[in-house]
Amino acid sequence: MNTIDKTKFPRVLIVGGGFGGLQVAKKLADKPVDVLMIDKHNYHTFQPLLYQVATGSLEADSIAFSLRKNFSGQKNFRFRIAELQKVNAEKNTVDTTIGEITYDYLVLATGSTTNFFGNKEIEHYAMPMKSIPEALNLRSLILQNIEEAVLLTGKEEREPYLNFVLVGAGPTGVELSGALAELRNHILTEDYPELSKEHMRVILVDTMPRILGAMSEQASKGSHDFLTSMGVEVMVNVKVNSFDGNEIKFEDGHTIRTKNVIWSAGVMGVVPDGISKDIIQRGNRIKTDSICRIDGSANIFAIGDVAAMITDETPKGHPGVAQVAIQMGNHVAKTILKLINGEPTAPFKYFDKGSLATVGRNKAVADLGKLKFQGFFAWIIWMFVHLISLLGFRNKIVVFINWTMSYLTYNGGARLIIRRFNNEAPQQEEEHLAKSDG
């Protein structure tokens, strides 16, 4: 039963505690509005470091931060754990797992989830990594399969347990393949003396002609060279046909025996029921106007990964990165205040601050406007940007200490199997609320 009282101020209902949702709420602090946020989880996830949770370099609580604690000093903010079930635009309400909630302005910051492009077999057996539960599942699978390989003696028997195939060579695939290569090169024989690093293969595949396709040619070539120098096998211009939990097959007939397929080949927006199918764009994103308001609505906004602002400059919408969500969140907060006050609104303009991707120790690539470079300096910038972007002073300190120990010893982190993962059971945690850049 919904027990959320209405105040005398207009209610801004934010669905999702990702980067965009947080920014909307933050920018409405001390303003004459009632801010209510709902999310499936009571924490914000810093998604760019999920891959380090998956490989045991960081613990989950170091990249998660309590939403209530984050807004503890904001008097006009309230939070509820709830799942959005349906938007009822005609009566300005939403149906949720805690009842019906009214709103004056609705902000959908529901983020994105893994896109398996309709392949149910791959969806069942491959491992996604869009949330903390999924990252923990992946960590358990990696460690369980290495433990299983230790029990076997023949190279052929061990092969499927120690072959790691990453599908999708965007930032997630590149960073995770680099992390797995470092695990093999520096940790495998220390933790598992029965194995040698030659037993473990890390294979990065993509349908595109180059990795990090959204970044510059220099970044793509630099990351490719870094990965191959670390022993990662990079396969481009290849398409996956199937994966049955034991063997991955490619369109050209090539196969690899593996129990470890990590899927980062695509994402799609998490669109709630009640939004017209007519305004859903490519990637399952909601079409918006120039102020992030969804088509046909006067008071419903979509931001981040779930939004598609189609213009001449952005015919495919904006990229699904945190900075887009943050800037959209900031813009929507200002727009709502202008609408309340009857003032004219301004169109959203995205300022691209550049892109960074790390490959491993002392190895990263950076596209910062016209400045493009790779190597140690790019790696330092990547670490600094991610460290200051984390929520919470404790999280910053914990991550910094972990990174320092890993750098000094080559063996940081605690690779613990906290809960065993059953790869035969469906593992998809359906994410209805923001866990991404939304």
Catalytic-labelled residue, pool 134, 159, 175, 431 = 175
Q: What angle do CA 288, 294, 297 make, to 5 degrees?
A: 140
Q: Which of 36, 42, 38, 43 is nearest to 10 (CA)?
A: 36
Question: In the sheet where 11-15 sits, what is the strand order?
Answer: 77-81, 34-39, 11-15, 105-108, 300-302
Instruction: Please state, as a whole number, how many other Cβ atoms lie within 10 Å of the Cβ of residue 58.
Output: 25
Q: Strand, coil or helix: what is 264? A: coil
Kindly give the residue spans of alpha helices, DSSP state H, lying in 108-170.
120-125, 132-151, 155-162
C-alpha–C-alpha distance, residues 382 and 379, integer Å: 5
C-alpha–C-alpha distance, residues 424 and 65, integer Å: 31
Beta strands in 104-245 (DSSP E): 105-108, 112-114, 163-167, 201-205, 233-235, 240-243
Q: Strand, coil or helix: what is 49? A: helix
Pairing of strands 260-263, 163-167: parallel
Q: Which of 13, 8, 3, 16 is nearest to 304 (CA)?
A: 16
C-alpha–C-alpha distance, residues 433 and 93, integer Å: 17
175 is catalytic: yes
416 class by beta-carbon count within 10 Å (0-12 exposed, 13-18 middle, 19+ buried): exposed
Cβ atoms of residues 357 and 172 within 8 Å: no
Catalytic site positions: 175
